[in-house]
Chain A
Amino acid sequence: MSAQPDIMGDAGAPWDAADALPRAEDAGGARVDHLVVLGLVPPGARVLDIGCGDGTLLALLRDRRGVDGRGIELSREGVNACLARGLSVIQGDADTDLANYPDGAFDVVVLSQTIQATRNPRIVLEHLLRIGRQVIISFPNFGHWRVRAELAFRGRMPVTAMLPEAWYETQNIHHCTIRDFVGLCRVVGARIEKATALDARGHPMRFSMPWWVWNLIGAQGVFLLRRE
């Protein structure tokens, strides 16, 4: 636990702004949050992208990092788009299909903006740590100031750029804050190797600051985890 950034500790403890994070000008048309993941994946790694959508991130990782990429995607449209890109993607569900993957099958498992939509985030996270040697996970931060403001001042469930759907339509059933997520990491025995927050446009915040600031102004959290 000593190697873990002390982000649950005193207000003064800073988060690392990860060195490998890309600058916006390197984007070359790619989404900045994808470039954040790109910066965390070693070349040639075996990568599983869960909830891979149309395969944009997997294709980026394959083309720029030479990874051996696989994906899981719920929608048939997404799977078809992946097939057309030559990606090996399985139509499936993070809640039910992860149990079938063997231990340590992948170097890196990526779960992007999906954990809050799973029925059992704790079990999903435990599977991720079991299947991958490293886990990259990102999620919308429910502690963001806009979310808090919506609740505090308007008394309504927030609808923001990160969380654009009304409460009765959203797939997101298990919201958490960055601080909540750090708590879950402790519960399941995940070591946090890197952590950062992205702003509402998906750009990494490139300065160190106390954790509570990140929990307040970060629109999403991005964590690089490893089983303890």
Chain B
Amino acid sequence: MDTTPETCLDSRTDPAARLRETGREPSQALDPKSPVARFGTDRPLPMDSGVMLAPFQVAYQTAGTLNADRSNAVLICHALTGDQHFAHTHPVTGKPGWWETLVGPGKPVDTDRFFVVCSNVIGSCMGSTGPASLNPDTNRPYGLDFPLVTIRDMVRAQAMLLDHLGIGELLLCIGGSMGGMQVLQWAALYPERVFAAMPIATGARHSAQNIAFHEVGRQAIMADPAWADGRYLEAGTRPSKGLGVARMGAHITYLSEAALHRKFGRRFQAGSAPTFSFNADFQIESYLRHQGLSFVERFDANAYLYLTRAMDYFDLAEDHGGVLANAFRGTRTRFCVMSFTSDWLFPTADSRAIVHALNAASAPVAFVEVESDKGHDAFLLDEPAMFSAAKGFIDAAARARGL
């Protein structure tokens, strides 16, 4: 993969020169075609770490058409390793958009009726400013000099993008996992801009267990000599081994024991006997290795460190005096919270805690627990029960907005 010029960030290319020549910064290397909103030094991003990030940029994709009243806008918030390609072929993998199950013509998030926006989060690596971007102070990639990012920083950047696109109020803000965290943060930070909110398979804080899994992934990356203290872009190396292992570990948490058993069981990759070696004898091993290998082609290791950290830091109650209900006090946003029975990364109890807080804040809230054995990733998969609930909620919200 390091031989493909378009995806290569090696030492022979001076990133600053590249920016001058192409008008594209290094974080756009994987995806040079997504539209980008650029914010200059006059419009910095105020970050929770105290840093005013400037200049910065947000890459995004849209589908559908904004109506004359600008009342049909939907914001999709992507998950940890997601990106803005929710309903478009991915520029690196060539795969369909990651949420084409839910979003598209005639789908619950109907692009024939709604104007759908999804931006790459700040700190990521698909065109928005992140650790792979050029630090204007040094003309080198930020690396670990990039300020720590929070979910709230991501949401502030999204709000600036919506301002840029001329969108005031969102009909719907929807997302799963880390995307669901952003949805909750949107509802807490800009309640007047969110008519309806749909946080899926998420929590109002990251659990100790989830932080633990993330830490294992980060340590795997940092233990890879090619990581080079985060300066691998300049060193011309790629911590693919570490990032791959991080992805393999994380991927297990996105599935369920039942789903793994159904898909792979104890089946052997070739033949029916062990090879008495450490080759990938079992199908599940081969599958995980494939997940790790394909992930490193489309993701930046430092971005993975930053985004996992952002999720770890997320604790919406802590931001509101320890009482989650205070985050939603006086809100008029209508909520539909959704969880999946076999999701052990963000179990139903996490969703119920959100629902209880919304009830305590007298917010209009619906809650659905979808029966599924597919684990956390169920929100990305073909789950008719999720689609029918989402369609009911979204259509009712659209009716209430006169759409």
Which residues of A pack against B, CB within 8 Å? Answer: 46, 68, 70, 76, 79-92, 100-102, 105
Contact = CB atoms under 8 A, between A and B. Distances in A.
A70 B389 CA distance: 17
Contacts of B367: 79, 89-92
Nearest to B357: A100
B200 to A, nearest CB: 14
A83 B364 CA distance: 12
B365 A83 contact: no
Q: Which of B336, B365, B391, B393 has the most CB of A within 10 A?
A: B393
Given A86-B396, A86-B400, A79 B368 contact: yes
A83 B335 CA distance: 11
Contacts of B366: 79, 82-83, 87-90
Contact of B369 (A68, A70, A76, A81): A76
Contacts of B385: 76, 80
A82 B396 CA distance: 10
A148 B397 CA distance: 49
A79 B359 CA distance: 16
Given A83-B393, A85-B396, A86-B399, A76 B371 contact: yes
Contacts of A100: 352, 356, 359-360
Interface string B351-382: 01001100110101111111100000000000
16 contacts: A70-B365, A76-B370, A79-B367, A79-B368, A80-B385, A83-B366, A83-B393, A84-B391, A86-B400, A87-B396, A88-B334, A88-B335, A88-B365, A88-B366, A89-B366, A90-B359
Nearest to A96: B352
A79 to B, nearest CB: 5
B388 interface: yes
A80 B388 contact: yes
Contacts of B365: 70, 88, 90
Interface of B is mostly: helix
Range class of the B interface residue count: 20 to 34
Interface in B191-220: none
Given A83-B389, A83-B392, A105-B362, A76 B368 contact: yes
Contacts of A105: 359-360, 362
A219 B237 CA distance: 79
**Which label, helix, strand, loop or mixed, suits the secondary structure of the A interface?**
mixed
B231 to A, nearest CB: 50
A93 to B, nearest CB: 11
B341 to A, nearest CB: 11
Contacts of A85: 392, 396
Given A76-B368, A82-B366, A91-B368, A101 B389 contact: no
A190 B388 CA distance: 41
Contacts of A68: 364
A223 B335 CA distance: 32
Nearest to A82: B366
Contacts of A80: 368, 385, 388-389, 392
Given A76-B385, A82-B366, A87-B366, A101 B396 contact: no
B249 to A, nearest CB: 32
Nearest to B385: A76
Given A90-B355, A100-B356, A105-B359, A84 B369 contact: no
A118 B371 CA distance: 23
A101 B369 CA distance: 19
B325 to A, nearest CB: 9
A88 B367 CA distance: 8
Nearest to B334: A88
B360 A102 contact: yes
Contacts of B48: none
